[in-house]
Every structure is written in structure tokens, then in C-alpha cells.
Structure 1
Amino acid sequence: MENLFAWINSVLKFVGPLSDFFWDIPTQFSWYKNLPLLGSFSFAIIVLVGSGIYFTLRLHCIQLTHMGEAIRLLIRRRSAETGISPLAAFMLSSAMRVGPGNILGVTGAISVGGPGALFWMWVSAFFGMGTAFVEGTMAQLFKEKRRGQFVGGLPFYGRALFGGSRTVGIFLSLLYIFYALGCLPAQGYNVVSSVGAIGSLVSGVEVPTKSFFYYGTAAVVLLFTAVLAFGGIKKVTRATNAMVPVMAVIYVATTVLLIVTNVQSVPYFFEAVFTGAFRPEAFFGGVFGTVLVQGVKRGLMSNEAGQGTITMSAASADDEHPCEQGLLSAAGVFLDTHIICTMTGFIVIMAHAWTQDPTAWKAAGKLPRYLLSVTSLTPTAGINTAVTLALTLCFCLFAYTCLIGMISFSEIASARLSQNPRVIVAVRCLCLLVAAFGILVNIAGYDLSNLWAFSDLANIVMVYCNVPLLYKGFQYVLKAQRHFVSGSTEPFDGKKILGIDTPCWPRK
């Protein structure tokens, strides 16, 4: 088995360098790097932040001006005649957004770019809310109704924008499934490793990976995942409706408790974030380009604005207007980055464990660095155990909701490939098999570092494929937005308002 893991790692050794190339191009070239100001920005950063700024300005900062409407949509209880309710769609999208990246990504960004990386996460996420609005609205505009459910998202609006091209739809469906298959092993790995950590905390002894506890955990996780996956999107949303509020409340409440008990460090937090954002050399000897790239890159991996990977949930909702789901998509980015990621940032930066034990900090991985920060902020061993247990539980739920969300979205993407039930079943089984592989890697105690780097590569590839589609369909989003903000009581009709046929608008 070890030979198999070593072979996979060697085959995928190109993934890390290839990912860095796509994220950093053209800053690798001296002629570009030496350009004043512009030389600090890679093409990926320009595409992501630039698109967010463009959409935000053209939409007149709708993520700010209509945030109250987004909140009303969240607290309004409305059952769905077809598909799922807007609130259920928001919970499902949040299950995907709020994942291990909210802990590992933020810790990694601060470790490489310094505290200022968090500031650039905030900035990029604010403009990313504009991008998310466009994605969510487009997913609603071009959704389709199949077997009493709404399906849509990237493969569907991509196909529609290219005149119903089946080739485009198949390509984008396969692209998303490929993306999910590359990311699922890490989620399976994270779920089982966090359950193992919980077992160790509760028992007070280290639980060996090749133990009955780990094998039993793996079996239970895969069984529950299979039940949810084969139960369809409504069963998945019932699970995410229960888990997302619990994990968000526990994580925020535990972090706020740490902030309150270490309130004397709060001024340092803000000073470090704002100083590090513009003078990164004050921390780790960094440079501006590095801190900016880390903030945007890790922010994207957390909130996924611009990737098109959350659009399946937006399309599945039974909304009264397409822009409602656009607002909820923007609210999802706010929850993910400005709330959950900020909580992680508070812990890591207030502890600034890199100054207390630089050697241990450099030697530790992302999760150990985060837990090292938690330990620095807790006054006693007993409290540290309780806090670590709560945060580890959140990490487990973060990973598990991502796991079931990816499988569910892969199923929706497969609906664009074929309406044959056997195809959907095959995709479900393949996803479960890949997730099981990640769990097996954990139990074997092996680290497939090159496979984990795949998520970085998958994210940027999705961005380069999705963002051009957002520009291509933005004219329709603008028309829908103008109708929405006008306060018109006339039901939304795609033919009248957009000048094109939309499968589900007007609502039937």
C-alpha cells in the first residue's frame, strides 16, 4: 500500500509547480516583475479582484445597498413548491463555502504573508460578493426543471450562453466533476483525522490511526455519506440545514470567548493586520506582492467567489426573482470570509505564536499552528482541552459538509451529461470511492502532499473557465438587477425583461 501512495505522489509531483505557475503568472518574468506597482499583481489576482471591482461598480454596490433584503430573505420562512427553499440553498452553499480552508487557509495565508493577508482577504471578499451576486443570479436565470427539482449552475449557464452548445455543457460538467474528485480525498482525510483528534481529546490518550476506532469511524462516515448522497439533494439539504447553523454558532461563540478572555490583545490584532497589509516587511520580512496574493488566493479557496463551484446550490432554489439568490450568494461570501475567516484570524494573530517559539512555529503544519495559537490563548489545560474539542468538532463539520456538498453538486453536474439514472449513480459511487481513498490515506498514516496541492490548481482552473462566462452573461444579470431594484410588482419574465427564453422564468 505504501508503494501505491508513493507512486501516486510521484505521478502528481507536477501539480504543485503547475498550480504555482497559474497563480503567479506573469510575475515569474523579470520584465513584468520590475514594472512599477503592476509587477506585484499576478494575472489571477487581476482577474479575481478586477472582476469583483467591475461587477460591484456596475451593480452599484448591490452587496451593500441591498444587504437588508438579503437578511429578510434569510429570516423569511417560505416552503418551496419545486426544488428547495432559498434558505436551504443558502445553507447548502454555506456548507460548501465554510470548510477546512476557513482554518487551514487562513492560518497558511498568515504564516506565509503575515497578518496583513487577512486584510486583503476582507478586501477581495467584499468585491467577491459582487462576483457571487452575478454567479447566483445567472444560476437562477438559466436553471432547468427536471423530475420535480431545479438543476443548474456553471454547466447549465455555460451551455445556454453558447447557444445551447452540448459540447460546452459536457466540458463544464466534466470540469466540475474533475474538480470535485481532486478535492474529495482531502475532505475525507480531514473528517477522519478530526474525529480521531476528538477521540484522543475525550479519552486523554493518543488514538493510533491503524486502530479499530479509526476503521469504525471510516465505516460510519462512509455509510452516512452514502445514505445522504443516494437520498438526493433534499436529503443533503436537510442535513446541511441542521449542521451549518450548529458549526457556525459553536465556532463563532468559542472564538468570541477566546477574544473576550484575551481582550488585551485585540489592539495588537488590528495593528498587526493593518500594518502588515501595507508594510509586510514588519512580519516575516515579507513583500507586498506576497501578502496580497496570499490574502486573495486563500480567500478564494475559502469563499469560492468566481469559481462557479457554488452555483449548483443557487440554481436549486425556488426563488420569486433571480436576484434573490444573487443576494444570498453575496451574503454567503460575507459569512464565510468576514465572519468565519476573521474568527480564525483573531486566534492566530492575537496569539502571534511565531514570536513566542519561532522554531516550533516553522516546524509545525497549518493545523498544528492553529492549535498552537489556541493553546497560547487559553489560561489552563482544562479550558484548553474544552476549547480545542469544540474547535476540532467545528473543523470536522466544516470538512464533512464540504464532502457531502461536493458529492451533491457532482450529481447535479452529471445531470448535464446525461439524464440516465445510471450515470448519476456512477458519479455518486465514484465520488464515494475517491472520498474513501482520502480516508484510507489517513488511516495508513501517509501524506500525499502533491494530491493536496491539487485543490490550489483546481481552484484557479475553475476561475479561468468561469469568469469569462460571467462577463458573457453579465448583460442579462444587469437587466435582471434593474428590474429587481425598480420595485416592480410584475413577475419576472425572461422573454420580456432579458429578450431571451429562460426555462423557468416566468415561474410556472
Structure 2
Amino acid sequence: MCLGAGLYFSFRTRFMQVRGFVEMLRLTVRGQSSEAGVSSFQALAVSMAGRIGIGNIAGVATAIAFGGPGAVFWMWVMGFLGAATSYVECTLAQLYKSKDAEGRYRGGPAYYIEKAMGLKWYAMAFALATIAAAGFLMPGVQANAIADSIANVCQGSALCGSLDGQWLGLPERDALKLGIGVTVALLLAVIIFGGIRRIAHFAEVVVPFMALGYILMAVTVMVLNAERVPEMFRIIFSSAFGAHAAFGAMLGLAVEWGVKRGIYANEAGQGTGPHAAAAAEVSHPAKQGYVQAFAIYFDTMMVCTSSAFLMLATGMYNVQGPDGQALYSGVVGVEAGPAYAQAAVESILPGWGAGFIALALFFFAFTTIMAYYYMAETNLTYVNGNRRRPLTVLLLRLGILGMVIFGAYRNATLAWALGDIGVGLMAWLNIIAILILHKPALLALRDYERQKKLGLDPVFDPDAVGIRNADFWRERRDSRPAPAAGPATPVVALPQGDGA
């Protein structure tokens, strides 16, 4: 569904992710915030906070372990096609956004399903699914990865010892992970109790810093292993199409795991990105569609690719065949997850690698949990009639903090299973909706491109392009002051006579 929708939207938008790449870059750094909404860059940072998480490290490792190196190629395909999907869903979120009782922008799949489809029950189903997924099912994956990566660093160190004793009646490693979960929950509480503005300000500072630092480390590892880079690309492309001798039988698994972990990493079509996109202050809905399409590129082509290159260029990965037999073992005795990336950097920078990946993963996962909370709160606001009821918000906050502690303590298998259920719930409901509703997003794209050709800074009028129920934009148009009248043109008396 994700691949098919991405391919369909790519053709319907005439591959806007290629034609509009320069415009994406330009719009990403433009825009101003307002009392009601955040700037385009802040909205991008919040959505990137949700996209860049455990899937970008542990998800890539899992895809390689069970799908072979060829899974990386299919993650790239998912990212390229997913950029068009992200444009559609995020433009729809802007088209049908509204203001809540406190005057802040709210929007997302629940809002555009109700306004564009007229199906209140379907919108409510998505809202409830998102509250369950983003508030309770998916945060545990992120918290578990934080706890595991820190425990890996701590294992055998002077600080933690061998982690084979008992503490508080629990195995020492489990007790450590529980303590990490409590610490992460306390830090998260400081952010989420400050609302969307504190989330946006935190994200716009931390997300670019953490992503660029991680990419720089991957580039450093590739330079130090330059002689292995050509072989790495050869393995990726040959195994992606079943041509590699060792991984030839894994073609189906390469596609499955590449797409499965690709959608978990970049979230195109899942319905998460539209929530942050709707909060942006823009003059035309397509502007945020362009920005969020770029978010998919950055997430998949830069951050996920960095993880893949870290592991493949150093050989620090394992591949398990369809029958469960090990086809390649580069890190013996290590389960698929953050430990692959930690072993990769450790092989280049002994004593530093595991700690660096643990720190990067902490910021990746922490900001993702933060973004999950915002998505859950937005849908809770929708369920409450676009009003913010303090008691239900408090229960949501306590619930997500509890799931962070639970997810950090429990094993990774259970955490990933819950996370996959959450992703599936949202993706199925959202992809079906945007396949039905995508026409207004296409009309907005054509209107934006038409105004750009005229040399204008596009301003949106829904009636001019035939889009109904875009109430926010109609009210904004009607509230704009009329153009000020210019000075009267002087009347010049012409001399009378022949030819006058």
C-alpha cells in the first residue's frame, strides 16, 4: 500500500519531489511564526523529531539483518516515492486545519477526513487509533532503544560492572533500564507540560544538531573505510534484485523489510507528519507540503543511509536467511538493533563509538516521543470537539510517561510488536483516506505553481480553485484588508483641434 500510494502520487504530482526540489530547500528556511502557529522550519523540526527516531538506527539494522543489504535500496525507493505521499497528506492537513478553543492551529488526518470526506465516524476512528498508537503503543519502542543502548555502554564499564547481579530485586541490567526509563520520563515531562511552543523551540534546536552530527560521523567512517565503499554499493544493488550469490534468495524479504522499516523511519503515509504540518503559519497550503516532502528526503536519504553506511562499510552487521540460518556474521552474539551501529563506530573509534551512538539514539528517540505526544494531544483535542479538556490531557501525559517507563524496562521484541501495531493502525486508515481525498492537494499544487510562474508569493483562495470546506482559508481571505486605494489619476485637458 505504501509503495503503491507513493508511486501513484508521484505520477499524479508529476514527480513534484524532483521538479520542486529547489523550492523545497527555499521554503524550508523561510516563514514566520504567529500567535496561532509555528514557523515552517519549526513545523519541519517537530515533524522531523517524529520521523528521526529508533527506526533510523535500530530499524535500519533490523532491515539489514532480516532482508539483507538490499533492504537499504528499498528504503531509498520508499523515501523517494514517500516524498510525494508526504506532500499530499501534509497539504491536506493545511487545507483543512482549524483553530482550537485557545486560538492555536490544529489539523491532521482526523480533520481532513471529516471536512473533505464528511465521515465523522471515520475521522473519529483515526483520532482514537492515533491516541492509542502515539500515546501508548509507539513510545515504548523509542524508550526501549534508549535504555538498551545506554546499558550496552554501561556493560562491563567501571561504572556499572558486569551487570550480572541483583538490584532492587531485579537483574542489574533490568534495574538499570528501569532507572533510565524513569529519568527519560521526567525529562519528557518538562517538555510536554510546556505545550506545542516549548516542543517546537526544543525541536528546532536539537533536531538539526543531532542529525547533522550523526551524518558527519557516518561520513567520517566512510572516509576511513574508503576502500570498502564501492563493494558496499555493489552488495546493496545486487542483493536488492536477488543477484547476489549469498543473498539471492532474499529478494522478497529485502522488499518487505526495506518498506517495513522504511515507513517506520520516514512515516510517509502513516499520518504523523500532517499534525505538525497543520501547525505551520503559511500563506499557501502547498508551502508546507513542499517542506514536508523534503523531510522525507532528509530522513531517508541522509539519516537512514548514514546508519546503513556505518554498518555496511565496517562489516558490522549480521544477515539471517529465510530458514533462520546465518548468511553473514560480522558481529557475533549481538542482536539486531543499536548494537550494530555501536560496534561499527567502536571499530573506528575504540572507547567512543558505543557512547556516541547511545547519545545520538537518546536524542533521536527522545524527540520522537516528544512528537508522539503532540500528535496524541492533537487528536485528543479533536475527540473533545476541538477543545482542550485539562483532565483528559493530564491523563494522556501520565499515560505516555508510564509507557516510556514500561517500554524501557520490557524486552525489545514486545516493544517493537506494540510499535508495529501502532504504525499499522494509523497507516491503513490514513492511506485509504488520502487515496480518496488527494484531489484538493493536486489543485493546491497547480495553483501554487501557477502563481509562482507569475512571479508572485502565492496566497491561497479555496474558491478560486474549487476546493470546498476549507473554512479556515475562506475566513482568512475574507478577513484580509482590501487593497488601499492609490492616488487619483490627474485629468489632463488636451488641446482642441484636428485630431485631438
- TM-score bracket for the superposition, by shorter chain length: 0.7 to 0.9
The answer on whether the counterparts of 1:280 and 1:291 sit within 8 Å (CA) in structure 2 is no
**Equivalents in 2 of 1:237, 1:471: separation in Å?**
30
CA displacement at 1:355 relative to structure 2 = 8.3
CA displacement at 1:384 relative to structure 2 = 2.2
Deviations 1:358-395 (A, max 9, x none): 5574642113333333344x1xxxx2222332222111
Partner of 1:6: none
After superposition, where does 1:111-130 map in structure 2 within 5 Å? 111-130=65-84
The answer on whether the counterparts of 1:52 and 1:129 sit within 8 Å (CA) in structure 2 is yes
The answer on whether the counterparts of 2:331 and 2:340 sit within 8 Å (CA) in structure 1 is yes
Partner of 2:446: 482
Which one of 388, 394, 403 corresponds to residue 434 of structure 1? 403
Tell me the percent identity.
Answer: 29
**Equivalents in 1 of 2:31, 2:377: separation in Å?**
27
AA paired with 2:245?
A
After superposition, where does 1:309-328 map in structure 2 within 5 Å? 309-328=272-291
Partner of 2:17: 63
Partner of 1:394: 360
Distance 1:242 1:206, change over 3 A: farther
Deviations 1:70-101 (A, max 9, x none): 11122235233421111000000111111111
* Structure richer in helix, relative to its length: 1
**Equivalents in 1 of 2:403, 2:154: separation in Å?**
24
**Equivalents in 1 of 2:317, 2:416: separation in Å?**
25
Distance 1:306 1:362, change over 3 A: farther
The answer on whether the counterparts of 1:495 and 1:501 sit within 8 Å (CA) in structure 2 is no
| Structure 2 residue runs without a partner (length 5+) | 164-171, 320-325, 480-500
Distance 1:281 1:101, change over 3 A: same
Is 1:143 the counterpart of 2:114? The answer is no
**Equivalents in 1 of 2:153, 2:194: separation in Å?**
28
Which one of 168, 173, 177 corresponds to residue 127 of structure 2? 173
Which one of 24, 27, 49 corresponds to residue 73 of structure 1? 27
Q: Secondary structure at the match of 1:500?
A: coil
Which one of 370, 381, 400 corresponds to residue 404 of structure 1? 370
Q: Secondary structure at the match of 1:364?
A: coil
Q: Secondary structure at the match of 1:76?
A: coil
Distance 1:302 1:505, change over 3 A: same
CA displacement at 1:211 relative to structure 2 = 9.1
Partner of 2:467: 499
Partner of 1:473: 437
**Equivalents in 2 of 1:107, 1:473: separation in Å?**
35
Which one of 415, 432, 445 corresponds to residue 381 of structure 2? 415
Partner of 2:166: none
Deviations 1:376-426 (A, max 9, x none): 4x1xxxx22223322221111111011111111111110111023322222
CA displacement at 1:460 relative to structure 2 = 2.7
CA displacement at 1:448 relative to structure 2 = 5.8
Q: Secondary structure at the match of 2:139?
A: helix
Which one of 457, 461, 465 corresponds to residue 425 of structure 2? 461
**Equivalents in 2 of 1:151, 1:95: separation in Å?**
18
Partner of 1:302: 265
**Equivalents in 1 of 2:267, 2:250: separation in Å?**
25
Q: Secondary structure at the match of 1:236?
A: helix
The answer on whether the counterparts of 1:109 and 1:295 sit within 8 Å (CA) in structure 2 is yes
**Equivalents in 2 of 1:167, 1:278: separation in Å?**
42
Is 1:236 the counterpart of 2:176? The answer is no
The answer on whether the counterparts of 2:126 and 2:426 sit within 8 Å (CA) in structure 1 is no
Deviations 1:193-232 (A, max 9, x none): 3344455698565474469976664443222211211211
The answer on whether the counterparts of 1:63 and 1:330 sit within 8 Å (CA) in structure 2 is yes
The answer on whether the counterparts of 1:114 and 1:286 sit within 8 Å (CA) in structure 2 is no
After superposition, where does 1:204-283 map in structure 2 within 5 Å? 206=161, 208=163, 209=172, 217-283=180-246
Distance 1:280 1:239, change over 3 A: farther
Partner of 1:349: 312
AA paired with 1:457?
I
**Equivalents in 2 of 1:481, 1:504: separation in Å?**
18
Q: Structure 1 stretch 200-209 or stretch 419-428: which is displaced more?
A: 200-209
Partner of 1:41: none
The answer on whether the counterparts of 2:73 and 2:237 sit within 8 Å (CA) in structure 1 is yes
Q: Secondary structure at the match of 2:351?
A: helix
RMSD of aligned C-alpha atoms? 2.4
Q: Secondary structure at the match of 1:259?
A: helix
CA displacement at 1:255 relative to structure 2 = 1.0
Is 1:152 the counterpart of 2:118? The answer is no
CA displacement at 1:138 relative to structure 2 = 0.5
Q: TM-score, normalised by structure 1?
A: 0.83
**Equivalents in 2 of 1:214, 1:120: separation in Å?**
33
CA displacement at 1:256 relative to structure 2 = 0.9
CA displacement at 1:352 relative to structure 2 = 2.5
Q: TM-score, normalised by structure 2?
A: 0.84
AA paired with 1:83?
G
CA displacement at 1:158 relative to structure 2 = 1.4
Q: Structure 1 stretch 261-270 or stretch 181-190: which is displaced more?
A: 181-190
AA paired with 2:116?
L
Partner of 1:336: 299
Deviations 1:256-280 (A, max 9, x none): 1111111111111111111111125
Deviations 1:408-457 (A, max 9, x none): 11111101110233222222222222222223x2xxxx526234212223
Aligned length: 451
Deviations 1:93-143 (A, max 9, x none): 111111111111111111122111111111121011000100110010111
The answer on whether the counterparts of 2:96 and 2:469 sit within 8 Å (CA) in structure 1 is no
Q: Structure 1 stretch 491-500 or stretch 236-245: which is displaced more?
A: 491-500
AA paired with 1:65?
R
| Structure 1 residue runs without a partner (length 5+) | 1-46
The answer on whether the counterparts of 1:113 and 1:280 sit within 8 Å (CA) in structure 2 is no
After superposition, where does 1:17-28 map in structure 2 within 5 Å? none
Is 1:366 the counterpart of 2:336? The answer is yes
The answer on whether the counterparts of 2:105 and 2:279 sit within 8 Å (CA) in structure 1 is yes
Partner of 1:105: 59
Q: Secondary structure at the match of 1:148?
A: coil
AA paired with 2:190?
V
**Equivalents in 2 of 1:72, 1:363: separation in Å?**
47
